[in-house]
Each structure stands twice: as C-alpha cells, then as structure tokens.
Structure 1
Amino acid sequence: MHAVMTTTEIYLIAMAIIFTVPYLIWRLFNTDYYAPLVVVQIIAGILLGPGILGKVYPDYYAFVFSAPVVQSLNGIALWAVMVFVWIAGIELDLKKAWTHRRESSITAGLALGTPLLFGSVAAAGMLMYEGWVGPQGMRWQFVMGIGMACAVTALPILILLMEKLAILRQPIGQRILRYASLDDIAIWGVLALILMDWERVGRQAGFLAAFAVLSYIFRKLMVWMPERDRWYAGLIWLIIGAFGADWAGLHYMVGAFLAGAVMDSDWFNQEHMDMLRHHVLLVMMPVFFLSTGLRTNWSVGGEAVFIAAAVLLVASVAGKLIGIHIAGRVLKWAPGESSIMGWLLQTKGLIMIIFANILLDKQIITNESFTALLLMAIASTMLTVPVVAPRLQRMKEIIFRTK
C-alpha cells in the first residue's frame, strides 16, 4: 500500500493526524480547564515526535513523516510562527507602560530578573553534565539562553488565558499586559545579544541601522494608507524584516518581532486583529506544534530530561513568584495580589517554545535541552488557570484595581 501512495497523499495523512488527534483529546476529555486546545496541540506534537511515536511505531513514523512531507510541513510552520510573532510585536502596548512607568518598570524588571537569575543557576548546574549544550553554543550563551527561557512570559497565550478568566479587558488584565509587554522587549533584546555574531557584527549593525531608517519611512506610509491596505503592507514589511535579520545572522523570528514592534496596534481594528490571531492559531499553528514535536529527543535519557524539566519549572515559577512578591511589597499591593500576578506572568507557552526553537536552530542547545524546555513550558501553562481561577473568585475586588 505504501508504494502506491504519493507524497501528496501522505502529506494529507500527516495533516489529518495533526488536526484530528489534539482536537479529539481536547473535546472528548474536556481538558480546557487544565489544558486549552493550544496546549493539547503542543503535547500532541511531542507524542507524534520521534521520541514517542517514532519509538513505538518506527515504520509508520518513517512512512508518514518522511523527508519530503516534513519539508512541506516545515514550510507552513515557518510562515505560521513568523506571522504569530509579528502579531505579538504589534500587540505590545508600550504607551500605557510609559504612563505607569514607575510601577511597570519595577514589576517588569523583577518579574524578568529574578527567574532569569534562578534559571541561569539551574543552567549552570546542567553544564556539569554532558548532552545539554549544543555544538555551537558557548557556556555563557547556554546559561543566558536557558535563564531567559525560564523568565519568558508568553504574551499571546497569556491573552488567551485572561480571556478565559474574563479579566483581559479589566484593569488587572491591562496591568498584566503592560508588565508582559515590557518583558517581551527585554526578552528579544537579550536574544539578539545571545545571537550576536562578532565575526559579522558589521553586517548586524548595518541591518539595525537600515531597519531604523526603513521603519521611519514605513510608519509614515502606514499612517497615510487605509486599513485594508495596511494589512498587505504589514505582511510585506514582515517578510522584509525577517529576511534582513536572517541575512545579518540574527534570526528571521527576531526580524519578525521587530517588524511588528515598530507598528502601532491602533492602526488596525482590534476585532480584526483578534480574528487574525485566532485564525493563525486555528489554521496554521498546529503544524508548527507538530514541527516542534519532531525536534524532541530523549537520547540523554528520559529520566534525565524529566528531571531537568522539573528543575527548570521550579526555577521559573519560584523566580517569577518571588520577583512579583518583592514588587508587591515595594508598591504596597493588596494581600494576595502578588500571587495572582505571579502565576499569570509565569505562563510560558508559545513564546518560550519559539525562543527555544531559535536556540536549537543556532545549535546553542541540544534536542535534549529543547525537550526539557518544552516540557517545562507545557507544565507552566497548564498550572495557570487551575491556580489563578479560585484565587480570583476569593478576591474579586483585585480585578478592578488600576495600580
């Protein structure tokens, strides 16, 4: 039967698996409270990868996920994640952060710095063992990369979870978006530093200078255009930014984020932007999750990978909670408010997975490190709603506090 099937037919079988398996798990087992569909899709990607399906049914895995099929899936995944990161950049709300700059800078700084420190300590411990550092990774890059992965807040997934908790448009939701937006800027800035190629620093500096000039021109053009044209112009701008960053030796996703970050969200109808994010998650991102799952590896040993993931999860959650509690004391928040903020801001999800994909692409980490980070991101995201929902029920007055 295998011999008579075309690559197109096998590709469609793979696509059917990608969309059917997570949906059935999510719907039949009603996992939405603990694991939204996007989290189930990430888990399904791991289950369908070489470490699980490839070990249990190696022949079937090799048949469905052959090189031509994987190449086609990777093309969709690449475009999906570029658009997703671009949207995340557009949705940064730095104007409100500037209005509340003292509170926002203190909270965002501690929310990022403390888990970064804890994660870096955990990464330093991983250096004592073989199999975690990638062939092109320097020790400081590995430590900084793992530390920053522990510090990431996944802004797009955070928006989805706050919608589920009915607080996104409330004052507490807008405050959390301010803190997460500032941290997003810092995260991509640190990533650019990690990826800095000192042999090509002139090219990278040239890219940043050219990007700054082109951004100024682009912004002037966007103000002049009607909204229907801004969508097309924005996508062309995304491609230019991604290409330039990749050519300079950074990474196409760094360029995609920068392309979105220099755009204003109020150029677009908010409902249209929400629909675009929803449709990208629905139509294209499941392919990225499968592509991510295909990169998992347990060669160091399944037990070691799970231990590393657990240590990184503790570093991530504890660091975020401690940092936010310190901020709460400095800013004199109400009792219990820091806990709610901390648990929401420790959400990892997609941005951390994208961040880890970049580190893996640049061979700073190994597939085993990537797998541990992926497991940590899943656990972090699954903890959020079950921990936060009962706290919000007990402390409803916090929802309406503006600062």
Structure 2
Amino acid sequence: MRPDALVLHFVGAAALILVAAHAGGWLARRLKQPYIVGQLMAGIALGPSLLGALAPAAHEALFPAEIGPAMTGFAQFALVVFLFAVGYELDLKVLGDRARTAAIVAVVAFVVPMAAGSGAALLFREQLRDLDMPELTPAQVVFAGVALSITAVPVLTAIVRENGLARTVPGVVAVSAAGLLDVIGWTVLAGALVGGDGDTLAWEWRVGVTAGFIALMLLAAPPLLRRLLYATRLDPALRLALLIGFALASACVTHAVGVHVIFGALLAGVVTPREKGGTLDADLLRPLHDVSSLLLPFFFVISGQSVALGSMDSTGWLTLLAVTVLAVVTKIGSGTAAARLGGLDRDDARTVGVLLSARGLTELIALDVGLQAGLLSGRLYTVLVFMALATTLLTQPLLLLVRRPAGRRPTPAPTPVQADTPTAPMADPG
C-alpha cells in the first residue's frame, strides 16, 4: 500500500474509532454502566464479530492489515499514559494501617481463583477438548488459574471514580490490592511462559530483576524527580514530556523482563513525587487525562479483532456460563473474606470483593498473551473474552446491590487526599 493511501486509511479508521468509542461510552453511561465499558463494547463491535460479519468488505477497507502496527502503537502509548496517571493519583498514604489489608486481599483474591481455575481445567479437561483444546500442559493449567485471578486495574479505577469511591477505604484498598494482585498474576504467568529458548529469562531471574527494578524505582526515582521537576522549575509542557518519557522507559523495562508494560507505567506514576503538601500537579494531570481519553479507544479496537461470535455454539455458551459463575463467586467471596480478615466492616468488605471482580481490560491483555503463546484455542479465547465482559458488566449492578442495604456511603479514608485539581474520570472526556 502506498504511503498516501496508508495515511488515508489510518485517518479514516481513527475517526471511526473515536466517534464509535465515545458514542459507546455515552450509551453505557445512560445504561448506568461505566463509560469505559461502552468504549470496550464499541471496540469489539468494530472487530470481526459485528462489523466484520455484517460488512466484511467494509471492515477490510476500514481496517487493512497495514495500519495494524500504527494502531497497536497508539494503543500501547495510551495504555502507558493512562496507567501512569492512575499511579500518580494513587496516594498510598491514605492506606495508613490498611496497607496490610491491601496485601492480604491481593494474595487471597489471587490464590483462591487461581486454585479454582486450575482445578476446573484439570477436572473438566475432557469438556475442554470440545472447544478445540489439546491435551493439557502444565502451562495451560497455570494459565487457566491466572485467567480467573486477573483484576482489571484500569476498569476498576474508572468504576471507583465514577461511583465516588476514590477517597474511601474500600476504593483505595481495592485499587491497591488489584495492582499488587496483577503483578503477582503476571509474574506467575511469566514463569508459565518460560520455554527453553536461550534468549528467555528463567522465571527466577524475572522475579529477581523485577524486584530489583521496583526497589530502584522506589528508592532512587522520587528524590531525583523531585529535584529535576520542582527545584529547576521546568516549563509545564517540558515537565509533562519528561514524565511521559519516564513512564515509557519504565514500561519498556518491565516489558523486557516479561512483566507487561502496564506495570512499569503504574510504577512510574506511583514514584512520581507530588507538589509540596502532597497536592496533585494540575498542569500534569489534566493533559494526562486528555491524552489517555483520546487514544485509549484504539486499544479496545485492537482487543476486539480476535473475538469471533460465530465460534460460539451450545458448548461455548454453557462453558461461558460456568466460567462466569466461577469467576464471580471466587473473586467476590475471596476478596470479601480477605477484607473482613484485614479489619474492614461488612459493607466495605463486600464493596472491595465486588470491585475486584471486574476483569475487562487487563484480562483482555492476558488472554491475548495466552492466545499468542498457544495456551488457548480460538474458541476458548472467545469464551474467556465474553467472561471478562460479563464480569465487568456485572460489577456496577452488584456494586449498587451491596451498597443499597447499608444506606450509607463507604467509610472515608483516614488520611484525605489533598488535591486542588478536579479529577475527571479516566477515558471520559466529559
């Protein structure tokens, strides 16, 4: 394809993606769902499942393979900016004595669904063959457990903000636990994916390098950034460019050692120092929101390209029902029990459990990794994608259900976040 034709196709596809994604977000908001869920559904609708099935020629013309790398690049860039802003806004001080609770919740909410998923894969291995899965390998068993253990940090963060939970104990505990939980999940998955290639780090080295990088970021990055950003009084535009570059570099390191880019981006945001008094930098936060809102829909379209509704038959729908029930029960049950164990009251604990059930974006990333590594058949991939969507769609109504009997708002965090800048919901331009 000629360069001018490539530019034309990309610009046309970008226009359609942005309009469809934000229209989907508006519709989701009208249906009392998070804005980001509507964007996710719009991305899948623009893939082969809907647009490709109804108008294959139009789908091919709008999304030729040649523009795939550019769209993927935009998607990854948006993901890094989004998670960097999430990490920057996350004030770990509000945890106070709840830091232990977040760690307990993360471990329990990973181990219980992990055991359930791996156990179900072993128990129903014969049924999985009906979904074109071959004889199970240890890596596939581990992946089945990880698929049920994932929590979508970006979607959870959007739900927390849109429900006014960002500065409450259950909101902060859920977001903090989800970040730690997914780090554990990606570390386990990285170990399962280790083959025998000479250029691939063994899982022990992955864990060691990742731990060393986290320690370096926590100890060295804050004082260096504080001196560079505030002592020298950099221009706001230059400060923004420097920090996005820092987030991209951190994401590059974590990706290189086998942990996904989203954790490097989140870590970069966490270690970025705030202004004096702990206030958020408005000149940094507003453009971060704008950039991620504009570009994040590209990721949803990329994720939807491998989903095919035509592969779902009666076996697939029954498997979807069973997997969704298992995913919801194990995640909510384990998250709630762990939060209670960590000292939260009944209503706040149930809120944490429901929030952790949202899988969405991060689950799609993990499923794509499993598909590319040959750990999933195409049919099982589609089933698990719909499980991710179902658990995400169920989060909002379940959250309203568990909060309604209490007749009160969740407990405010003990140390309020001092932020003198308005924080609009991520991926929601208005």
- TM band (smaller chain): 0.7 to 0.9
Match of 1:6 in 2: 5
CA RMSD after TM alignment: 3.7
Is the CA contact (8 Å cut-off) linking 1:92 and 1:181 kept in structure 2? no
Match of 1:42 in 2: 40
The code of the aligned residue for 1:240 comes to: A
The code of the aligned residue for 2:34 comes to: P
1:383 aligned residue (388, 394, 397)? 394
2:107 aligned residue (87, 94, 109)? 109
Deviates more, 1:233-242 or 1:94-103: 94-103
* Residues 123-173 of structure 1: per-residue CA shift (max 9 Å, x gap): 3356433486889x9723222223223222222322221222222213332
Residue 194 (1) aligns with residue 183 (2): no
Equivalences for 1:319-358 in 2 at 5 Å? 319-327=330-338, 330=341, 334-358=345-369
Match of 1:221 in 2: 224
Residues 285 and 125 (structure 1), Cα distance of their counterparts in 2 relative to 1, 3 Å cut: farther
Residues 209 and 189 (structure 1), Cα distance of their counterparts in 2 relative to 1, 3 Å cut: closer
Residues 112 and 252 (structure 1), Cα distance of their counterparts in 2 relative to 1, 3 Å cut: closer
Is the CA contact (8 Å cut-off) linking 1:45 and 1:290 kept in structure 2? yes
Percent of aligned pairs with the same amino acid: 23
Is the CA contact (8 Å cut-off) linking 2:118 and 2:142 kept in structure 1? yes
TM-score w.r.t. the length of structure 2 is 0.77
Residue 16 (1) aligns with residue 29 (2): no
Residue 368 (1) aligns with residue 379 (2): yes
The code of the aligned residue for 1:338 comes to: A
1:78 aligned residue (76, 79, 83)? 76
Residues 25 and 185 (structure 1), Cα distance of their counterparts in 2 relative to 1, 3 Å cut: closer
Residues 181 and 226 (structure 1), Cα distance of their counterparts in 2 relative to 1, 3 Å cut: same
Equivalences for 1:3-402 in 2 at 5 Å? 6-27=5-26, 29=27, 31-88=29-86, 99-124=97-122, 127-128=125-126, 129-130=128-129, 139-199=137-197, 200-201=200-201, 208=210, 211=213, 215=217, 217-227=220-230, 228=236, 231-248=240-257, 250=258, 253=261, 256-257=264-265, 260=268, 263-264=271-272, 266=274, 269=280, 271=282, 274-276=285-287, 278-298=289-309, 300-327=311-338, 330=341, 334-397=345-408, 399-400=410-411
Deviates more, 1:99-108 or 1:287-296: 99-108
Residues 304 and 264 (structure 1), Cα distance of their counterparts in 2 relative to 1, 3 Å cut: farther
Q: Secondary structure at the match of 1:146?
A: helix
* Residues 5-53 of structure 1: per-residue CA shift (max 9 Å, x gap): 93322222222221222433443x4644443332122112222212332
TM-score w.r.t. the length of structure 1 is 0.82
* Residues 212-269 of structure 1: per-residue CA shift (max 9 Å, x gap): 6864554442232115565434333334344445555x25526734752772464782
* Runs of 5+ consecutive residues of structure 1 not aligned to the other structure: none
Once the 2 structures are TM-superposed, how far is the Cα of residue 391 of structure 1 from its aligned partner? 3.5
Q: Secondary structure at the match of 1:296?
A: coil
Residues 131 and 92 (structure 1), Cα distance of their counterparts in 2 relative to 1, 3 Å cut: farther
Q: Distance in 1 between matches of 2:208 and 2:178?
A: 29
* Residues 284-328 of structure 1: per-residue CA shift (max 9 Å, x gap): 110111111112235754444433333222121100122134335
Q: Distance in 1 between matches of 2:40 and 2:116?
A: 25
Deviates more, 1:193-202 or 1:149-158: 193-202
Residues 32 and 342 (structure 1), Cα distance of their counterparts in 2 relative to 1, 3 Å cut: farther
Q: Distance in 2 between matches of 1:226 and 1:143?
A: 47
Residues 61 and 139 (structure 1), Cα distance of their counterparts in 2 relative to 1, 3 Å cut: same
Is the CA contact (8 Å cut-off) linking 2:95 and 2:169 kept in structure 1? no
Residues 86 and 31 (structure 1), Cα distance of their counterparts in 2 relative to 1, 3 Å cut: closer
Q: Distance in 2 between matches of 1:259 and 1:34?
A: 31
Residues 117 and 326 (structure 1), Cα distance of their counterparts in 2 relative to 1, 3 Å cut: same
* Runs of 5+ consecutive residues of structure 2 not aligned to the other structure: 231-235, 415-430
Q: Distance in 2 between matches of 1:164 and 1:55?
A: 34
Residues 336 and 78 (structure 1), Cα distance of their counterparts in 2 relative to 1, 3 Å cut: closer
Residues 25 and 84 (structure 1), Cα distance of their counterparts in 2 relative to 1, 3 Å cut: closer
Residues 16 and 350 (structure 1), Cα distance of their counterparts in 2 relative to 1, 3 Å cut: same
Q: Secondary structure at the match of 1:344?
A: helix
Residues 273 and 368 (structure 1), Cα distance of their counterparts in 2 relative to 1, 3 Å cut: farther
The code of the aligned residue for 2:157 comes to: I
Deviates more, 1:353-362 or 1:308-317: 353-362
Deviates more, 1:265-274 or 1:118-127: 265-274
Alignment size in residue pairs: 398
Q: Distance in 2 between matches of 1:126 and 1:18?
A: 39
